[in-house]
C-alpha cells in the first residue's frame, strides 16, 4: 500500500490557501455584480428615447426644411445684387454690358440701366417690375435701388419675404 504524504503548505502560518481563494472569489463576485448592474442599466435604457434627443432631431429637421424653402430666394437675391453692382459699374463707365443679351452701348441712360437690371431679374425668375427699380445717374456715378417681394410657400401659409437692394459705384 502506498503511503500518503501530508502536503506541505508553502505558507508558514498555516493553510491560508482557502482564505486567499475566498477573497479572490469575492473580488470576482463583486466585479461580476458591477458588470451585471451596468449591463442591466444598458439593457434597460436600450431603445429608450428622451426629450433631448427628440428636440435635437426636430431642430435638425426644421433647419434643413428652412434651408430648402428659404435658400433659393436668398441665393437669387445674392446673384441679383452682384449683377446690379456689375451693371452700375458698366453704366458709370459709359458702356452698359449685359453678358447674356449682348452689349448695350451708349451713355448708359436710365432706361437702359433699368432694362438691364430687369433682364437679370427675369433670368433669375425674380418677380421684379419696372416701377420697383429706381435709377439715378450723374457723371461717373450711378445709384440703383430695387425693392421686390418673393412669396415663400409654407405648409401653414404663405410668407412674403421683402428684399431691398441698394447699389452705387
- Give the integer Cα–Cα distance in Å for 111 and 109: 6
| Residue 35 counted as domain residue | no
Sequence-distant (6+) residues with CB within 8 A of 103 are 95, 96, 97
| Residue 119 counted as domain residue | yes
| Residue 51 counted as domain residue | no
Q: Count of H helices and E strands in the chain?
A: 3, 5
| Residue 25 counted as domain residue | no
* Edge-to-edge strand list for the sheet holding 141-154: 133-138, 141-154, 157-168
User: pLDDT by residue (tens digit) across 24-76?
Assistant: 556 777 877 777 776 665 555 555 567 788 899 999 999 999 999 999 999 99
Total domain count for the chain?
1
Q: Are 112 and 106 in contact (CB under 8 A)?
A: yes
User: pLDDT by residue (tens digit) across 87-129?
Assistant: 988 888 877 655 455 555 554 578 888 888 999 999 999 999 9
30 CA to centre of own chain? 48
| Residue 101 counted as domain residue | yes
Give the C-alpha distances (Å, rounded to integers) separating 73 from 66, 133, 153: 11, 18, 12
| Residue 30 counted as domain residue | no
Which residue segment(s) compose the domain that 71 sits in?
Answer: 59-168
- What nine digits make up the cell of 122? 427675369
For the full predicted model, state whether its pTM sits above 0.85. no
| Residue 3 counted as domain residue | no
| Residue 22 counted as domain residue | no
Amino acid at each position: 500500500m502506498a503511503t500518503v504524504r501530508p502536503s506541505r503548505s508553502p505558507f508558514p502560518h498555516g493553510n491560508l490557501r482557502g482564505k486567499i481563494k475566498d477573497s479572490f472569489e469575492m473580488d470576482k463576485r463583486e466585479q461580476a455584480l458591477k458588470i451585471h448592474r451596468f449591463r442591466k442599466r444598458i439593457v434597460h435604457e436600450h431603445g429608450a428615447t428622451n426629450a433631448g434627443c427628440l428636440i435635437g432631431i426636430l431642430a435638425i429637421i426644421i433647419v434643413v426644411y428652412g434651408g430648402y424653402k428659404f435658400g433659393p430666394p436668398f441665393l437669387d437675391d445674392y446673384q441679383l445684387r452682384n449683377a446690379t453692382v456689375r451693371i452700375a459699374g458698366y453704366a458709370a463707365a459709359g458702356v452698359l454690358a449685359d453678358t447674356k443679351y449682348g452689349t448695350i452701348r451708349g451713355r448708359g441712360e436710365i432706361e437702359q440701366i433699368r432694362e438691364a437690371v430687369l433682364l437679370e431679374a427675369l433670368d433669375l425668375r425674380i418677380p421684379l417690375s419696372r416701377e420697383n427699380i429706381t435709377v439715378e445717374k450723374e457723371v461717373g456715378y450711378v445709384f440703383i435701388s430695387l425693392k421686390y417681394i418673393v412669396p415663400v410657400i409654407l405648409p401653414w401659409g404663405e410668407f412674403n419675404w421683402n428684399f431691398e437692394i441698394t447699389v452705387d459705384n
